[in-house]
C-alpha cells in the first residue's frame, strides 16, 4: 500500500489514515480484499482461545491443590521451628533502606490482596494497554505500530492486527474510557464466567468484532484502519447487562437519572445500528455491534455450546499429561467459573 501525503486523524475511538492512494476508489468485487483468511483466523483463534482457557483452568485447579497442601505442611514446619523472637531478630538486622523496601512490598501485597479476582485480571489488561499506548509515542516504532496494531482489511497484514489492535489505543482519553468500563464490570464478569473463560471470551470478542468491522468496511468500500478495545469491552458490557437486565444504572454526574441495564444495552445497540446504517465515522459502529452481539449470544447460548462441552478436550489433555508424567491422576473437576 502506498503511504504518501497521509493525513493522520485521531478521533476519540479510532485511528484513521486517509490517502488518495491508500483507499481504493473502485468498489467492484475485484477491488475488494478477500476476507476468507481473516474469517479462518477468527474461527481458529476463537477455538484455540477457549481450548487454552480450558487447559489453564485444569492446570490452575491442579496447582492450587498441590500448593495448598505444601503450604499447610510448610506452616506446620514453621510453627515448630520459628517463633516471634526469630522474626524480631531478623527485622532488627535489616538496614533502614531494607526495612522501607519490605514495608513497601508489604503495602503493595496488601493492596493486591484487597482486589477482587476480576480487578486483578483487569489490572493486567490495563497494563498491556498502557504499554502499547507508550509504544505509540516512540517515533521509531510508528511503522510497526501502524502495521501490527491497527486493523485494516486492505492491509497485507490482516490477521495478527485483529488481536493486537484490541490492546491498542493512541488517545489516552480513548483508553481511559474503555478501561474504566472494563474495570467497573470486571468483578461482575469474572464472577460470572471465571478468570480463564472470561479471558477467552474477551480475546475472542476482540477478534470477532474486528471481523465484523472488516465485513462492513469491505462491503462499503471504506477501507481505513482502526484500533481500540471498544469491541471487546462492548462484549463484556453486553454479557453483564444480558445476565442482569433489571439492574439499576445511573449517570456519573447525574445520579438522579436511573435506568435499567437492559434498556441501556438496547439503546447502545440501537445507536450503533443507526451509526452503521447512516455511515457515521466517529466510531467503529460495526465493531461495537459485533462485540455487543457476541456478548449477548455467549451468555444466552455460547457458554452452553462452547464451555460446557469442554470436558472431552480436558479429559484428552488430562490423559496426555498423565501419560507424560508416567502415571494417572484424578478426574479433573469442572472447576469454578462455569455457568
> Catalytic positions, please?
230, 288
List phi, psi (to 5°) of 258: -130, 155
List phi, psi (to 5°) of 9: -125, 110
> Which candidate, 316, 337, 333, places its Cα nearest to that of 65?
333
Residues 276, 217 contacting (CB under 8 angstroms): no
Which CA distances in Å does 82 have to 67, 91, 93, 99? 21, 14, 16, 20
Residues 212, 290 contacting (CB under 8 angstroms): yes
List phi, psi (to 5°) of 126: -65, -40
> Which candidate, 249, 264, 168, 256, places its Cα nearest to that of 210?
168
Burial of 59 (0-12, 13-18, 19+ CB in 10 A): middle
Question: Mapping DSSP to helix (H, G, I), strand (E, B) and coil, where does residue 250 land?
Answer: strand
CA–CA separation, 292 vs 280, rounded Å? 18
End-to-end CA distance of the chain: 46
**Nearby residues of 33 by Cβ (< 8 Å), 6 or more positions away:** 153, 154, 158, 218, 223
Looking at residue 115, what DSSP letter applies?
S
Handedness of CA 154, 160, 163, 166 (dihedral sign): negative
> Which candidate, 31, 10, 287, places its Cα nearest to that of 145?
10
Amino acid at each position: 500500500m502506498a503511504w504518501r501525503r497521509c493525513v493522520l486523524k485521531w478521533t476519540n475511538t479510532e485511528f484513521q489514515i486517509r490517502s488518495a492512494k491508500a483507499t481504493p476508489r473502485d468498489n467492484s468485487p475485484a477491488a475488494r480484499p478477500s476476507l476468507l483468511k481473516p474469517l479462518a483466523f477468527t474461527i481458529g483463534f476463537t477455538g484455540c482461545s477457549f481450548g487454552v482457557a480450558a487447559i489453564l483452568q485444569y492446570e490452575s485447579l491442579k496447582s492450587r491443590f498441590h500448593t495448598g497442601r505444601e503450604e499447610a505442611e510448610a506452616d506446620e514446619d514453621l510453627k515448630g521451628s520459628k517463633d516471634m523472637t526469630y522474626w524480631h531478630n531478623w527485622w532488627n538486622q535489616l538496614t533502614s533502606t531494607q526495612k522501607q523496601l519490605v514495608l513497601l512490598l508489604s503495602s503493595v501485597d496488601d493492596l493486591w490482596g484487597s482486589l477482587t479476582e476480576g480487578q486483578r485480571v483487569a489490572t493486567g489488561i490495563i497494563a498491556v494497554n498502557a504499554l502499547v499506548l507508550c509504544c505509540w509515542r516512540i517515533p521509531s516504532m510508528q511503522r510497526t505500530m501502524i502495521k501490527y496494531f491497527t486493523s485494516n482489511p486492505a492491509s497485507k497484514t490482516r490477521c495478527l492486527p485483529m488481536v493486537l489492535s484490541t490492546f491498542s489505543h493512541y488517545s489516552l482519553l480513548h483508553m481511559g474510557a474503555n478501561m474504566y468500563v472494563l474495570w467497573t464490570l470486571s468483578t461482575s464478569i469474572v464472577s460470572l464466567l471465571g478468570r480463564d473463560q472470561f479471558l477467552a471470551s474477551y480475546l475472542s470478542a476482540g477478534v470477532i468484532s474486528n471481523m465484523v468491522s472488516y465485513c462492513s468496511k469491505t462491503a462499503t468500500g471504506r477501507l481505513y484502519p482502526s484500533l481500540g478495545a471498544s469491541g471487546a469491552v462492548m462484549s463484556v458490557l453486553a454479557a453483564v447487562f444480558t445476565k442482569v437486565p433489571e439492574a439499576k444504572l445511573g449517570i456519573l454526574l447525574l445520579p438522579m437519572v436511573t435506568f435499567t441495564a437492559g434498556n441501556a444495552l438496547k439503546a447502545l445497540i440501537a445507536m450503533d445500528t443507526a451509526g452503521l446504517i447512516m455511515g457515521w465515522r466517529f466510531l467503529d459502529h460495526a465493531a461495537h455491534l459485533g462485540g455487543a452481539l457476541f456478548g449477548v449470544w455467549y451468555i444466552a447460548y455460547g457458554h452452553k455450546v462452547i464451555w460446557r462441552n469442554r470436558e472431552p478436550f480436558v479429559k484428552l489433555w488430562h490423559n496426555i499429561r498423565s501419560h507424560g508424567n508416567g502415571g494417572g491422576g484424578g478426574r479433573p473437576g469442572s472447576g469454578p467459573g462455569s455457568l
